[in-house]
Structure 1
Amino acid sequence: MRGLRALCFFFVVSLFLLAQNEVNGDSPYRFYTWIITYGDIYPLGVKQQGILINGQFPGPNIDCITNDNLIISVYNYLNEPFLISWNGLQHRGKSWQDGVYGTNCPIPPRKNFTYLLQAKDQIGSFFYFPSLAFQKAAGGFGGIKIYSRPRIPVPFPPPAGDHTVLAGDWFKRGHRGLKWILDGGHNLPFPDGLLINGRGWNGYTFAVDQGKTYRFRVSNVGISTSINFRIQGHTMKLVEVEGSHTLQNTYSSLDVHLGQSLSVLVIADQPPKDYYVVVSSRFTSPVLTTTAILHYRNSYTGVSGPPPGGPTIDIGSSLSQARSIRWNLTASGPRPNPQGSYHYGMIKTSRTIVLANSAPYINGKQRYAVNSVSFIPADTPLKLADYFKIGGVFNLGSIPDHPSYGNGYLATSVMGADFRAFVEIVFQNWEDSVQSWHIDGYSFFVVGMDGGQWTPASRSRYNLRDTVARCTTQVYPKSWTAIYMALDNVGMWNIRSENWARQYLGQQFYLRVYSPANSWRDELPIPKNALLCGRASGHHTRLF
């Protein structure tokens, strides 16, 4: 049986190589086999059932180089369906691999699926996570590091070490119990604590040598809370945000909102002893705090006293910090040309989309909505329905371009868009909480954010020169955030709240970026190993 699985696996890989039509023939392949199981974990000192990957919580890191091909065979040994999504990997022309229910059938229990991904023209820090139901609250997440190719200059010397920091809120109640609360139409309780790399207070150690510089890649993998990251006695030089090299400003602490990732350089230049690495919740009362240890290898002195305090509920400082994060125009990205060679501010937008979040009660239950539409999953993944031309699964235009501020309603919302259009999207937030939005398959320019109502006059305050390009952005309470985005990736792409209760209860929709050319240059064909479910079950995959 094991030999048959191996033969089938390499057959799938061969088909993948054929589908690439030698486009990626020079790029290395990295092979992973992941076994997904439940196991006992004790992140907050209480025994819980967590989702493990190869017995690990968090899961293994993916370390790769720009344009590497990633062949990840996932075996699901849970007693429920499972999917992994790749937060920030753009998988050019391959929304087939996105790993959300709108594009992929879930992996059934005791079955496997092989993801065929490529870190095409990307660098930076990202993460993966389970996307179905509320499994994200049980673990199953891990870090993704995409290094620059050796011949592409990086705007800082190679660090002595490269640390992944997966931080976020955590609940002692299991993911099924949390889902049951949401299914009953209620809000989640306040989180029980915060974790750093799956551990609670002082549970994880980062070892450093005095005088050397280290890279810390910080991702907020939580489900409901913005966090603040800081290291006792040390400053941090920001160098990268979700695949973009930034101006190297120095900070004493940094806010990381839900779903966001960033990289900082830290010099171990303090007297040799142990220091707190601190993560605390932002905009919450009470404030949650947890710590890890920064351990100098020549030190025999442990941490002492309380960890350093950080910002709590102040919005103004967070907004100012967000505006200070700028693109490094002279640094090369994944290609040798400078990031600033793409003059996004000189491109005329062809469409403005305004998205307003809301929290309506529908049929007596708490739901969340975008432009009054609360998303409900269809019985068939939207990408498959679109490909096989299965009617009645979704309707284009089922979500409007602008809010009506009417009563909320349920629908499988899909917005149509044209390939190679350049659009302006405004996220308008009239609620009292910070929102966090992510767009799968894309990186966009955060051109502006401010309080109040967005109007066309707000464009006079846009940064059209050196705003950072990223895939996740925050929207402050009673505020707006505007982005510019080139629709250069054909497919069916999820636009969602990174607050997982809001996402689960409808604050998401799909953007169908369409090209009539039907060309492999724009989008690769459906993979031969694609799982088929729902009304697509009787169809067959084929290579063009």
Structure 2
Amino acid sequence: MEAGNAVAVLLLLVAASAVLVAGDDPYRFFTWTVTYGDITPLGVKQQGILINEQFPGPQIEAVTNDNLIINVFNKLNEPFLLSWNGIQQRRNSFEDGVAGTTCPIPPGGNFTYILQVKDQIGTYFYFPSLAFHKAAGGFGAIRVLSRPMIPVPFPPPAADYPLLIGDWFKANHTDLKYMLDSGKTLGFPDGLLINGRSWDGYTFNVQQGRTYRFRISNVGLSTSLNVRFQGHTMKLVEVEGSHTMQTTYSSLDVHLGQSYSVLLTADQPAYDYAVVVSTRFTSKIISTTAVLRYANSQGKAPGSLPGGPTIQIDWSLNQARSIRWNLTASGPRPNPQGSYHYGMVTTTRTIRLANSAATINGKQRYAVNGVSYVNADTPLKIADYYKIGGVFSVGTISDSPSGGGGAYVQTAVMGASYRDYVEIVFENSENEVQSWHIDGYAFWVVGMDGGKWSSASRQSYNLRDAVSRYTVQVYPNSWTAIYMPLDNVGMWNVRSENWARQYLGQQFYLRVWTSSTSWRDEYPIPKNALLCGRAAGRRTRPL
């Protein structure tokens, strides 16, 4: 579609969609062109995925309840999708941008995402969800600010900086995908990046005496990371949309897919200080740095770089437990976060999810409760909407571990009822840290510990001020428990944030269903939805 015609159709779509969103909530328009381009983040030229010729992609800045109209032109030679880590897509999983909900943008085509950051604040990111595109870039930061007159529990910072950290491989994403398709593992990453740059390749400018907000997201593929600022401490203020108790840390563990906001006060002599990022729980420790540069800097700060934790699990577990919800602070609404007493609500169902590694047909695969996920030929949500049979079946994954030790491939979908209140226990019997994300939802992390989970483990749950978030870690040979209200109808991806494990089957879809057909419960398919697979040739709704 030519740009002029695309804009005209876009305006028509926005006008036609007005009934689905609050009329007085602002609109923010973005036009993105996705291309290949040469990048050299580790000094070796490789094929990157650029958005508007940028790596990482442009930052999205929004305010609670804003409507985001993002027109994406795909100039790659393969299908492409973007997903929005932590954006809840209230009543609208069609826009989630993963293979189970949204048809890909074909090469040379375009698609306009119509999103609303409904009742959300905080720190998030977007990323390409298909194939192994995430290994080539295409990711960027999202920040959602509070509305005017909604109190924020700290003064406005002098500046608000994204800090996208992650591991990186020198091989092209196509080569990495081929390795996984061949049944091999990726091996150890070649380096780490901060905002797409390696050693001292990125600079944050500060002025003495002022306080700055850093929004940290681990956008990497395979590794938990630790971040620290030479000569400075960090005050944690927000975790994935939740204001936290303002605890001070000298270093912070950030697991795959997780996001944090910290405040840093430039209270040291005017030098260039190091922002250090290093791997956690790895046999070999690698690191990288960015520069925290004071105005009128006298040069490199004296002293050595600050060391960080390496393989210590207890250190990380204790830090995770120390992160608490700020009960008196406002969230996206003026009422205090703690006004919802999550610990006093009786759960209606317990779901236990166990990850595992398996060999299937001679190739490396990963599974949840013994099922290794494979994509269907049609997005599940679209097949569900049109009632197309043979694409998936609800109940193809159990809500407790199989116990058999083996695994098989299946398009796994778990059924759940709208407005249930569930307890989910992630069980990890492997020797590596897991990181789990649930699209469409925030949940309270009520407990985590070593060993096997049992009903007696509930005695240790934090039912008062556990943090609400979207992505949670599970330590080796350990468990993590969450509470989650099923208040968002749709088809939602539950996945490992280790991207090789996700690609090779450690994911499934949670179908949250209601018999109601009211738009108050779920929006109909978008008018501009792309249709593919067995839904090709059908109509959405009249413009």
Query: C-alpha distance in 2, partners of 1:449/1:327?
Result: 16
Determine the structure 1 residue equivalent to 2:485.
Answer: 486
Task: Please tell me whether residue 132 in structure 1 is matched to residue 130 in structure 2.
Answer: yes
Query: C-alpha distance in 2, partners of 1:5/1:213?
Result: 43
Contact residue 39 and residue 55 of structure 1 kept, 8 A: yes
- Say if 1:47 and 1:306 are closer, same or farther in 2 by CA, change over 3 A: farther
Contact residue 255 and residue 318 of structure 1 kept, 8 A: yes
In the TM superposition, what whole-angstrom CA distance separates every residue of 1:476-522 from its partner, at most 9, and x where no partner exists?
00000000000000000000000000000000000000011111001
Determine the structure 2 residue equivalent to 1:9.
Answer: 10
Determine the structure 2 residue equivalent to 1:512.
Answer: 511
Determine the structure 2 residue equivalent to 1:378.
Answer: 376
The amino acid across from 2:462 in the alignment is N
In the TM superposition, what whole-angstrom CA distance separates every residue of 1:407-450 from its partner, at most 9, and x where no partner exists?
10010000000001000000000000000000001000000000
Q: 1:299 Cα shift?
A: 1.1
SS at match of 2:142: strand
Determine the structure 2 residue equivalent to 1:100.
Answer: 98
Query: C-alpha distance in 2, partners of 1:483/1:6?
Result: 43
Contact residue 238 and residue 246 of structure 1 kept, 8 A: yes
Q: 1:306 Cα shift?
A: 4.0
Determine the structure 2 residue equivalent to 1:171.
Answer: 169
Query: C-alpha distance in 1, partners of 2:3/2:129?
Result: 28
Contact residue 525 and residue 543 of structure 1 kept, 8 A: no
- Say if 1:304 and 1:186 are closer, same or farther in 2 by CA, change over 3 A: farther
TM value normalised by structure 2 = 0.99
The amino acid across from 1:331 in the alignment is A
CA RMSD of aligned residues (A): 0.9
Contact residue 359 and residue 369 of structure 1 kept, 8 A: yes
SS at match of 2:327: coil
Structure 1 stretches of 5 or more lacking a match? none
Determine the structure 2 residue equivalent to 1:425.
Answer: 424
Query: C-alpha distance in 1, partners of 2:410/2:349?
Result: 23
Q: Which moved more, 1:249-258 or 1:531-540?
A: 531-540
Determine the structure 1 residue equivalent to 2:35.
Answer: 37
Query: C-alpha distance in 1, partners of 2:235/2:384?
Result: 45
Superposed counterparts of 1:84-95, under 5 Å: 84-95=82-93
Contact residue 527 and residue 543 of structure 1 kept, 8 A: no
Determine the structure 2 residue equivalent to 1:192.
Answer: 190
Determine the structure 2 residue equivalent to 1:440.
Answer: 439
Contact residue 259 and residue 472 of structure 1 kept, 8 A: yes
The amino acid across from 1:142 in the alignment is G
Query: C-alpha distance in 2, partners of 1:12/1:334?
Result: 27
The amino acid across from 2:535 in the alignment is A
Q: Which moved more, 1:40-49 or 1:501-510?
A: 40-49
Determine the structure 1 residue equivalent to 2:219.
Answer: 221
Determine the structure 2 residue equivalent to 1:405.
Answer: 403
In the TM superposition, what whole-angstrom CA distance separates every residue of 1:17-62 from its partner, at most 9, and x where no partner exists?
14x1xx4111000000000001111100111110000000000000
Query: C-alpha distance in 2, partners of 1:378/1:538?
Result: 18
Query: C-alpha distance in 1, partners of 2:539/2:429?
Result: 46
Query: C-alpha distance in 1, partners of 2:489/2:168?
Result: 35
Superposed counterparts of 1:151-170, under 5 Å: 151-170=149-168
Superposed counterparts of 1:230-249, under 5 Å: 230-249=228-247
Superposed counterparts of 1:364-375, under 5 Å: 364-375=362-373
Q: 1:405 Cα shift?
A: 2.1
In the TM superposition, what whole-angstrom CA distance separates every residue of 1:102-121 from its partner, at most 9, and x where no partner exists?
00011000000000000100
Query: C-alpha distance in 2, partners of 1:306/1:86?
Result: 38
Superposed counterparts of 1:23-422, under 5 Å: 23-303=21-301, 306-406=304-404, 407-422=406-421
Contact residue 349 and residue 424 of structure 1 kept, 8 A: yes
Identity %, equivalent residues: 70
Query: C-alpha distance in 1, partners of 2:356/2:394?
Result: 22
The amino acid across from 1:294 in the alignment is L
The amino acid across from 2:385 in the alignment is Y
The amino acid across from 2:279 in the alignment is S
Q: 1:543 Cα shift?
A: 6.1
- Say if 1:2 and 1:128 are closer, same or farther in 2 by CA, change over 3 A: closer
Q: Which moved more, 1:267-276 or 1:7-16?
A: 7-16
Q: 1:10 Cα shift?
A: 1.0
Q: 1:144 Cα shift?
A: 0.3
SS at match of 1:532: coil
Q: 1:145 Cα shift?
A: 0.3
- Superposition misfits of 4+ residues, deviation over 3 angstroms: 303-306
Q: 1:301 Cα shift?
A: 1.3
The amino acid across from 1:420 in the alignment is R
Q: 1:305 Cα shift?
A: 5.5
Determine the structure 2 residue equivalent to 1:539.
Answer: 538
The amino acid across from 1:118 in the alignment is Q
In the TM superposition, what whole-angstrom CA distance separates every residue of 1:146-188 from its partner, at most 9, and x where no partner exists?
0000110000000101000000000000111000110011111
Query: C-alpha distance in 1, partners of 2:537/2:9?
Result: 21
Determine the structure 1 residue equivalent to 2:522.
Answer: 523
Query: C-alpha distance in 2, partners of 1:75/1:341?
Result: 43
In the TM superposition, what whole-angstrom CA distance separates every residue of 1:128-147 from its partner, at most 9, and x where no partner exists?
00000100000000000000
Q: 1:9 Cα shift?
A: 1.5
Query: C-alpha distance in 2, partners of 1:230/1:297?
Result: 20
TM value normalised by structure 1 = 0.98
Q: 1:303 Cα shift?
A: 4.4
Query: C-alpha distance in 2, partners of 1:385/1:440?
Result: 19
The amino acid across from 2:534 in the alignment is R
Query: C-alpha distance in 2, partners of 1:479/1:120?
Result: 34
Query: C-alpha distance in 2, partners of 1:445/1:138?
Result: 32
The amino acid across from 1:500 in the alignment is W
Contact residue 85 and residue 99 of structure 1 kept, 8 A: yes
The amino acid across from 1:221 in the alignment is V
SS at match of 2:17: helix
Q: 1:5 Cα shift?
A: 2.1
Query: C-alpha distance in 2, partners of 1:170/1:66?
Result: 32
Contact residue 382 and residue 394 of structure 1 kept, 8 A: yes
Query: C-alpha distance in 2, partners of 1:472/1:459?
Result: 21
SS at match of 1:359: strand
Superposed counterparts of 1:455-470, under 5 Å: 455-470=454-469
Structure 2 stretches of 5 or more lacking a match? none
In the TM superposition, what whole-angstrom CA distance separates every residue of 1:167-226 from its partner, at most 9, and x where no partner exists?
000000011100011001111110000000000000000000000000000000000000
The amino acid across from 1:147 in the alignment is L
Q: 1:312 Cα shift?
A: 0.2
